[in-house]
Amino acid sequence: MRRYSAFAIAREALRHHTGWERAWRSPEPKKRYNVIVIGAGGHGLATAYYLGKNYGIRDIAVLEKGWLGGGNTGRNTTIIRSNYLQDPSAAIYEKSRSLYETFSQDLNYNAMFSPRGVMMLAQTQHEIRGYQRTAHANVLQGVQTEFISPERVKEIVPIINVGGPRYPVLGALWQPRAGSARHDAIAWGYARACSGMGMDIIQKCEVTGVRSEGGVVTGVNTSKGDIDCEKLAIVVAGHSGHLAGMAGFRLPIESVALQALVSEPIKPCMDCVVMANTVHGYMSQSDKGEMVIGGGADGYNNYTQRGSFHHIEETIRALVETFPMISRLKMMRMWGGIVDMTGDRSPIISKTPLGNIFINCGWGTGGFKSIPGSGWAMAELVAKGEPGPLAAEFGLDRFKEGRFIDESVAAGVAH
C-alpha cells in the first residue's frame, strides 16, 4: 500500500494523477476465513482493523450487503464527545475520542478531525443540576469537561440567543476537546488500512443465513455463496435484530429512524457543536459552510432511511428560538438513518448464545463518536473470546441481571 504524503501529491500532479492505486481491493470471497465481520460501516471496519493491528489476525472478510460506509456511517452528523455520566460509557467514549485525535497519523488518511468543542445547553434548573453532576463525574473519570455560565456560552457562540422567552440559556456543559470529523473518511481510512493488511472487503454481498453445528457457528450463507468461518462478528447497527434472528437468538433492541438536514452554505458563524436537550435539537457548521441540524429519533419503530417534513419542522421550530438567524436559511437536503436502541441507551458488545458469534450493536444515535473505541473493544472480544475492560460492562447478560448503564438522560438528546 503506497503511503499518502505531500510528496506523493506533487509527484502525481506532474503525472496528471495517473499513478494513484485503488484505496482498497474488491476481491471475490474465499471459501473460508478465520473471522467474518458482517457490516462494512465504521464499527465493522474498525473491528477488522484492530483485529489486524492489535492481534495479528488478518484472515478476515468484511461483508457488506450494500456499499462500504453506505449505512449510518455516511448518514450521521459527525459529533464526537465523551462527556457521559456512567463510568463504562465515559471510558469507551474517551478511548474513542483519543483514537480520533491520532486517526490521521495512525492510518495515513486525513479524517479531518476538528476538536472544536461540544456544548450541551442547560435551559432548565433540572438540566443545570444534571450537567453539574456529569461535570463532577467527568472529573473523577479523567474526562476534561466543565460547566460554564451563560456569559461564557455567548462568548463561545455569538449567534446564540441566551435570553429566550421560553427557554433561556442558564449555562452549559462544555467539552473543549470534543468536536467532529469527516464521516466518510473514517470508513475509507479503515477500509484502506484493512485492505493493505490483506483482508477482503466484499461489497454487494448480503448475508442470508447463519450456519452452526453443535451450538457453534460454522459459516454464513450469502448472495455470493456459502462462506465458512471460525468466528463471526455481527456489526450491523439497525439490522442487528434481523441478523440475530438468523442465528437463532433475540436482542433487547428496537430500530428507529433518526433524521437530520443541512442548510445552504453560509459564511463561518459558529465554530463548535451546540446541543439543546430541552428544545430537542443540535447544530454545528460544516467545513463547507452548511449548518448541520438534527434532533431526536422517531417515536415509532421503522427502517426508513429518509427524512419526514413534520419531524424536520419540529426540530427547526425548536432551534429557531435559540438561534434566530437560522429562520432565514433554506434547507438544502435531508436524510435519515436506522439506529438501534437498547432500553438503557447503552451499547451491547458481547458474546451470544451461539458459540463464536459476537455482536456489537445498540449504539443508538451515538454510533459515530464511538467507532474507534467500539472497534478496539470488539476486536479484543473476538480475538480473546472474552471481553476486555472497555467491553466488560456492556454484555447481554446485564439485561437479565438488571445491571443497566442508564444514559437516557446523560446522553443529552441521546447523541
From CA 353, how far away is CA 216, in angstroms rounded? 9
Count of CA atoms in the C-beta half-sphere (13 A) of 279: 28
- Measured CA to CA in angstroms, residue 310 lies from 201, 284, 293, 313, 315 at distances of 38, 21, 15, 5, 9
Q: Look at the pTM and tell me if it is higher than 0.75.
A: yes
Predicted confidence band of residue 394 (pLDDT cuts 50, 70, 90): very high
CB 346, CB 394: distance < 8 Å? yes
Reading the block at residue 161, the C-alpha cell is 440567543
State pLDDT tens for residues 247-284: 999 999 999 999 999 999 999 999 999 999 888 889 99
**Distant-in-sequence, close-in-space partners of 57: CB < 8 Å, separation ≥ 6:** 34, 35, 51, 382, 383
State pLDDT tens for residues 52-109: 999 999 999 999 999 999 999 999 999 999 999 999 999 999 999 999 999 999 999 9
Q: Which stretch of 222-226, 286-290, 337-341, 409-413 has the lowest confidence by average pLDDT? A: 409-413
Reduce the DSSP state of residue 261 to 3 states and report it. strand
State pLDDT tens for residues 37-47: 999 999 999 99
pLDDT of residue 415: 46
CB 211, CB 220: distance < 8 Å? yes
Specify the length of the chain in residues. Answer: 415
Domains annotated on the chain, with CATH:
30-82+85-108+183-253+344-401 (3.50.50.60), 118-180+255-342 (3.30.9.10)
Buried b (16+ CB within 10 A) or exposed e, 315-346: bbebbbbbbeebeebeeeebbbbbbbbbebbb
From CA 32, how far away is CA 219, in angstroms rounded? 8
Predicted confidence band of residue 181 (pLDDT cuts 50, 70, 90): very high
CB 59, CB 37: distance < 8 Å? no
Place of cell 438534527: 294
The fraction of the chain above a pLDDT of 90, given in percent, is: 86
Reduce the DSSP state of residue 281 to 3 states and report it. strand
Does residue 409 register a pLDDT over 80? no
Does residue 413 register a pLDDT over 70? no
